Structure 1
Amino acid sequence: MTDTLTKNSAIPNDAPEQGTTPGWSVAKPTAVLVLADGTVIEGKGAGATGEAEAEVCFNTAITGYQEILTDPSYAGQVVTFTFPHIGNIGANDEDQETFNPAAASGVVGAIFKADITDPSNYRSARHFNDWLKARNIIAMCGIDTRALTAHIRENGLANAVIAHHPDGKFDLATLKKRASAWHGLEGLDLAKEVTTGQSAQWKQTPWRWNEGYGEQEAGDFNVVVIDYGVKSNILRLLAGLGCKLTVLPAKATAEDVLSHNPDGVFLSNGPGDPAATGEYAVPAIRGVLEKDIPVFGICLGHQMLALALGAATEKMHQGHHGANHPVKDHTTGKVEIVSMNHGFSVSGKSLPKGVTETHVSLFDGSNCGLAVDGKAVFSIQHHPEASPGPQDSHYLFRRFVNLMRERRGMELLAE
């Protein structure tokens, strides 16, 4: 690999001892990434073995790799980390974001520049490579992630096949056909793959230094969460503000939601094409909107709410994935540094009358939030629970709780 990607017709079985990829030295590559345009990227395999089709994106965060790799919103994707050293703090049981235990992980695969080193962190409970294997995440390292990132920026999110075989034997012709034939994420409803299988209660509260997670003893508000792939820290922050949480599957109907007599309804993040998930989610959300109940959505939940209100969503060229994105809140005039993870977005121009754009990305001007005029209904595209700012956007959870407190005549929380 150099600064630009090259197309290799084959990987020779008699490759020299010195690898062809900077920072890697073995007899021959043990992992490849084959893009739909025929580009073949060679590397050193890590994590699980096997082959899988996926969309390749890049993430610019320099911390939180375990949170990223367990975020259900990454289902169907391979994450390329632009930060070179991933895995050197190991893995633990506390930094997991997957709510549904039946869903092994969010991502299909991961790509790193440097080899995974032994952990050096007091919270580490497991070697990162062992953790990748246990979660069936195919990984590769030792490649020029800058060149791959530049390729995605110039050409858009790439459909590909990632493969890891310790013996270094790959049928490149077949892998190229698979990569070019894969339909991609457009039209795919992946929320149904990561959602909970049945209703569940949640009581865990946010993590505290040297104490771990807490347990909610009592809650003030009955909140129903529609789970399209919810991250656990979203639930923790809501529980920490007094929300008694009931998590329902993605295909829950309005009747299912309203049967719990909620004080508020939360629409969660999740993966896939919002238009596909919207086929069953939109009617349910519209049924909820007919009632005077506060509604708050994040990420896919934001897109679902937009579709229910009559707006449109669209596929992005490279998506937004990272923890250093500036977003302006028009309601406060403040700029927040936020975490992003989405390859589809709400078209700001499509917002109907009576719906106001509240947040906008300062990178590209894309929509990042909306509110319904005169109603306690709002949503945002970014992830406030990921704490990249670190807590620039936590006020959004308090804003949701205040809408419920206002209806009870309770004193409002400071945002």
Structure 2
Amino acid sequence: MPPQVRSRHRTLIKPVRGGITAPAGFLANAAACRIKKVDKPDLCLIFSEVPASAAGVFTRNRAVAAPILWTRKILQRPILRAVIANSGNANACTGLKGRHDAEAMALHAAAALSIRKQEVAVASTGVIGLPLPMDRIIPKIPGLAKSLSRSGGALAARAIMTTDTRPKTASFEWMTGGRKVRIGAMAKGSGMIHPDMATMLAFVTTDAAVNPQTLASALKEAVDESFNRITVDGDMSTNDMVLVLANGLSGARIHKRNLLSSGFQQALNQVCLGLALSIVKDGEGATKFVTIRTLHGKNKKDCITIARKIACSNLVKTALFGEDANWGRIMAAAGASGVPIHPEKIDIFFDEIPMVRRGEGLGTRQEKKAGRILRKKEFVITVDLHMGTSSAEIYTTDLSLDYVKINADYRS
């Protein structure tokens, strides 16, 4: 389990078991519909026993998938009871039929749960351009609804996996106002990882009572500091979605004025960042997890832009895979970011090993030391701009031969 975290308001937030169903009143389970080539769970259902405030953040890709269109539409009234999600098929670029199929998934889930279809969010992930096999999905929904349980979260997390090698879950609890509050989450993502957000689905539940406007504000901050700070291959998905549901069953009321002091924002940030880092570490074919850190920039936006340009550079990423301390590629990527820089001021470090001082390399001896850093599974590349007081981090991977192999036969 991850370590306990203490916010700057001294709220003790501790990890607990349970994932998406750790908060009170949430149930889940999954079923195998044979959407994917293998007979594994590929359809999941998450259910709140009472109406829940809801908020979402979605892909900015203009080739948006049908489930995104449905879920964005129903969140105009931000109250949800359920989420139904499938893997193996993205239901993207499927025209009018795809939109009808997304609505049909909500309709059949709602009928099985005795709720309104407008209370059911829909999500899909997988191959683009193929129609959903609704003849295999619809018959599974009634049984899935009947089998919902507090212990079904682990199976639900597996059901949304595509090229993921492992499920990604997190859950925490803390005390606020004398009440115990829990937050739980699950996510998937491994390839097509790039802001905004990544090719990923993430679902968050909490038993705190939070109004939809405050929930949306808190989610935006959490996503900006987590899912929007990761990249694996620079490709933006058609299906990215982060949803949060807050059903209030803990009795703890969270308002805009106590987002920080209650510990809620810190807990949401912690859940989202933990899942985002898990996605990068599970990146397709990845052998390295690398933090790109920019220091002393003029402003945070500039620092993020420069770090992201370095993190997305295929030349940098292939050098990382080859364990080559090629700092020139890092400098070139920073210079190509579009942000005005002063190369003659820049220092570059691999972990604590200096490689560049005031824009000039420090020689082969330092390269050998940096080479030892590059053999590690995780390390930090720091670019000190010496232009201001701002800083930022982007999380990335190397680009390996296995990444090419995985994506060369993804559909075959």
Q: Into which bin does the TM-score normalised by the smaller protein fall?
A: under 0.3
Higher normalized contact order (CA 8 Å, seq sep 6+, divided by chain length): 2
When you count helix as a share of all residues, which structure comes out higher? 2
With normalisation by structure 1, the TM-score equals 0.27
